[in-house]
Amino acid sequence: MRVSCIILARGGSKGIPKKNIIDFCGKPLIAWTILQALGAEEVTDVWVSSDSDEILKIAKHYGANTIIRPEKISGDTEPSESAWLHAIDFIEQQSEYSIDFVLAPQVTSPLRHAADFSDAIAQIKANGVDSLLSVAEVEDFFIWKQRDGENPQSVNYDYKDRRPRQQIEKTYIENGSFYLFKPQVLINDNNRLGGNISLFVMDRYKMFQIDNVEDIELSSVIMKGFNLNKV
């Protein structure tokens, strides 16, 4: 089975300038995702799609193949699906084989092991599903929402009938770390998820993403504390 890892990394970032290549635990941020994918023997090949020459140069240095992403699908409002479709077409034109599954990890979610990719691929094989998303269990999170001018409302439990957390049905949050999907799912539905879907449950500490400056410090502490920087 051919599993191609496609890492999307735009050059522009409004929150943190050059976010995808900031120094994180001694390496450019994108390097961690590349090395994790290369460390999973079930992954056939690793590609980085970017509109940035600087990112592509770094990607090559860490062992990834590269794809120049067209400007028309590189804007910050352009969905990831467009870039994945472009990348799949590019890869299959360069190869004798078609892709069975795309592994699509997020650069800003570096808190994971190569084994997470391997285990997810094994799960998708065992379950015979069409797509998979990484999640974290949130059984003891009590979620509330509030609209302007209205009383707050509990979302995932009834505060008038507060039960021990052990009695609350397990729920999961999409942590954005990575997705696995058949190319045909993306082609048919223009969506990374479709057909028979599987949840890959990750450790809760791996759910943190780097979206702002504060996240860099927090994620760095977790990265080192759980030895995730030992690639």
Query: Which residues are designated catalytic?
Result: 162
**Radius of gyration of the chain, Cα coordinates, nearest whole angstrom:** 19
Contacts of 130 (CB under 8 A, 6+ apart): 181, 182, 184, 185, 194, 195, 196, 197
153-154 and 65-68 as β-strands: parallel, antiparallel, unpaired? unpaired
> What count of other Cβ atoms lies within 10 Å of the Cβ of residue 5?
26
* Burial zone of 90 (CB within 10 Å; 0-12 exposed, 13-18 middle, 19+ buried): middle
Q: At 21, list the tokens.
A: 């290549």
